[in-house]
Structure 1
Amino acid sequence: MTDTPTVDSSNTDQFRSWDGGGGTFWTEYSGRFDEGMAGYHGELLAAADIQPDSVTLDIGCGSGQVTRDAARAAPEGSALGVDLSSPLLDLARTLAAKDQLTNATFVQADAQVHDLGEARFDVAVSRHGTMFFGDRLAAFANIARAIRPGGRFVQLTWQALDRNEGISTFRTIASGGRELPPPPPEAPTPFSMSDPDRVHRLMREAGFADVELTSLTVPMYYGRDVDDAFDFIAGNFASSFDQLADAARSRALDALKVNIAEHLTDRGVLYDAAHWLIHARRT
């Protein structure tokens, strides 16, 4: 039994989700997430430029694929993964032990307030782990303190909603076909790091320089066939589907299956997607 981590009040809802039902769902589908991100994973690691003796911090590590690969790349160094989700961290530890990666460790922590040390890490990385902070400036300042001067911080985040066919499509279908307003830009959503001007301003204020955003557009994989993708997507958007009346929910789920079938390729179900690869240097 682990102690409950200290969580900033602005991140309480995120903690409830990631340490509860949300974390359970993504633990079940951790392999699917890794497959979906496969077209971006190599770009992230290349930008991180992890050396044999690097000490790496992985923010929002989830089930730990990035942490494990960082540990493999640094046999004389180490990699620490932090996340709010105890189910995902349990899986991360199991997978690291299976791979005999003794230099990979995992901590349940809110990176916005957790003491990560001072100038402890050569590089920090994050794959979809930095968009959900309640106070991003405080979080990035805390991460900056933990990176040595001149060290790297590399993130992979979503671009704007309208550039991501999958999420925008599923969001509309799960609402019964209604056109929803975009998420508030300052809210902790997948798209809070999608505006380049905001990202530049935020990173500079937090203590980073040489901020660069590279656009990556690689289709995302959602499943091997229609039924496989349907189970994953319907589960991911279950809270939205559940808000519909029975008849509307049935129609929406039918519409989802039809749309998925239209995106079935010989490589599985694919939807267009766009990400930012954000690279910065600690001042």
Structure 2
Amino acid sequence: MTVVNTAQSEAWNGYEGRHWASHDARYDAMNGGFNPFVLGVIEPADRVLDIGCGNGQLTRLAARAGRSATGVDLSGPMLATARARAADVPNVGFVQGDAQVHPFETAAYDIAISRFGITFFADPIAAFSNIRRALAPGGRLAFLCMTALRGTDLGAVFDTMVDYLPWPTGDDGTGPTAFADPERTESVLTAAGYTDFACTKVEADQVWGSDVADAAEFISDWGPVRYHMGLAGPDNAAQARQALTEVLQRFVTPSAVALRGQAWLVQANA
């Protein structure tokens, strides 16, 4: 496997990937509410390529919605979980690779999709160009990415910890919020050869835990938060954890701790 995105490969084959793989049901509860927005654009005859497929929930669902689906990801731990979960889905497959340089078969897919898996490319123009080469004539692209987090429920959670930790996502334009600005996203996709750009804001509930203590523990162990807590030292980390516990009280429902999530649904033609 050729990898140019070495830092992300280390993260997703290290703690980050192991955490997602061992908590796949929890991460699917967090992000699965967004699945219908992507599945709704898949046609029955489509051969689907799922970029940054992770534990493979969307890939499995895409295989049922289309003709077949292939998931690609850097993470060995998550792909192991994906393959185990897909044992009863005959028209799905998974490949470990760096989508920026992976030698996809030319024109092998009708649509490339992603659920928050396209934000960490070292060179996004090169990555989307490589993905476009994998698409057949008339092929499409449809992916979900984070909006800016300021003003959202998750942003409110991060705001309560800002006296003790930096914002875990970094500035918009990097990391999880790399495509929070639709104008930047359009410029990247245009440079990569795509046309007919469209960007629609969508919302879904995101379940972070069964109760406040459970949600606070899960968020504290989530890679970006855990990393910054480690840098902040034990005193600041403890205060951040207390602030997190207090703010989560605002999001308690009868069945879970749920935040209203926002995302961009980005679509373009190859």
Instruction: Name the residue aligned to 1:235.
Output: 221
Of 153, 161, 164, the match for 1:165: 153
Q: Classify 1:180/1:84 alpha carbon distance in 2 versus 1 (closer, same or farther; 3 Å).
A: closer
Instruction: Name the residue aligned to 1:33.
Output: 27
Letter of the 2:15 counterpart = G
CA displacement 1:80-121 (0-9 Å, x = unmatched): 100000000000000111xx2121110110000001111110
Q: Distance in 2 between matches of 1:63 and 1:204?
A: 30
Instruction: Name the residue aligned to 2:84.
Output: 94
Gaps of 5+ in 1: none
Deviation at 1:34, TM superposition (A): 1.1
Letter of the 2:192 counterpart = A
Q: Distance in 2 between matches of 1:117 and 1:92?
A: 22
Letter of the 1:148 counterpart = A
TM-score, with normalisation over the residues of structure 2? Answer: 0.93
Letter of the 2:30 counterpart = G
CA displacement 1:213-254 (0-9 Å, x = unmatched): 011123322111112211210101111112223322222211
Of 2, 5, 11, the match for 1:6: 2
Deviation at 1:256, TM superposition (A): 1.2
Q: Secondary structure at the match of 2:231?
A: coil
Q: Distance in 2 between matches of 1:125 and 1:43?
A: 11
Instruction: Name the residue aligned to 2:198.
Output: 212
Q: Distance in 2 between matches of 1:217 and 1:29?
A: 23
Q: Secondary structure at the match of 1:63?
A: coil
Instruction: Name the residue aligned to 2:209.
Output: 223
Letter of the 2:109 counterpart = F
Q: Distance in 2 between matches of 1:274 and 1:58?
A: 21
TM-score, with normalisation over the residues of structure 1? Answer: 0.89
Count matched residues.
268
Q: Distance in 2 between matches of 1:153 and 1:271?
A: 28
CA contact (8 A) 1:50 1:70 kept: no
Q: Secondary structure at the match of 1:265?
A: coil
Letter of the 2:246 counterpart = V
Q: Distance in 2 between matches of 1:177 and 1:57?
A: 40
Deviation at 1:130, TM superposition (A): 0.6
Q: Confirm whether residue 150 of structure 1 aligns to residue 143 of structure 2.
A: no
Gaps of 5+ in 2: none
Instruction: Name the residue aligned to 1:61.
Output: 53
Q: Distance in 2 between matches of 1:241 and 1:144?
A: 39
